[in-house]
Amino acid sequence: MSHLMRSVPSLVARAFSSIQGDLRDIQLFYTDRGSEFKNQLIDKMLAAFQVGRSLSMKGCPYDNAMAEATFKIIKIEFISQMKFDSLEHLTLEFSDYVNWFNKLRIHRTLGYVSSIEYKRSSLKEVV
């Protein structure tokens, strides 16, 4: 079993513990069908907070197309461009990437504005 497969459950637990707010507000936890996600720690954590699990259908990545598209972007723009010396280094760099992705990166599908700008303008239209 690879180091990554062994570390996934603890990474998921750390991610959940870093969430500010009520974890019961989380409705779905999306994963592919990779064996690294078939783990008792993850199952117990999801059950404890009544979080559902969303799996893509076997051999059908289009089942969760939005999540799959986001993962592809992260792999291309972030993972393939970096080398991480430690989990802390990965955590810091990924936090910076998510901040950039949401606040600065221009998204073609949102009319060439950032996610934050799109959300702000959408809220103005509603109010």
Whether residue 66 contacts residue 90, with contact meaning beta carbons closer than 8 Å, is answered with: no
Residues 12 and 38 in one domain: yes
Residue 119 sits in which domain range?
A: 86-127
Residues 54 and 69 in one domain: yes
Cβ within 8 Å of residue 75, ≥6 positions away: none
Handedness of CA 39, 11, 19, 64 (dihedral sign): negative
Residues 68 and 93 in one domain: no
Summarize pLDDT for 42-72 with one digit per residue, the tens: 888 888 889 888 777 777 767 777 777 888 8
Residues 11 and 71 in one domain: yes
Residues 77 and 91 in one domain: no
Number of domains in the chain: 2
Whole-number pLDDT of residue 6: 58
User: Is the model more confident about 70 or about 9?
Assistant: 70
The token pair at 82 is 């970096």
Q: Angle between the 87-103 and 115-126 helix axes, to the nearest 10 degrees?
A: 40
Whole-number pLDDT of residue 99: 93
Whether residue 93 contacts residue 84, with contact meaning beta carbons closer than 8 Å, is answered with: yes
Single-letter code of the amino acid located at 58: K
Task: Report DSSP state, residue 56.
Answer: P
Whole-number pLDDT of residue 93: 93
Residues 63 and 115 in one domain: no
Residues 31 and 69 in one domain: yes
Mean pLDDT of the chain: 82
Residues 72 and 123 in one domain: no
Cβ within 8 Å of residue 51, ≥6 positions away: 23, 24, 26, 27, 28, 29, 45
Whole-number pLDDT of residue 1: 46
Calculate mean pLDDT across residues 86-90.
87
At residue 97 the predicted structure's pLDDT band, cuts being 50, 70 and 90, is: very high
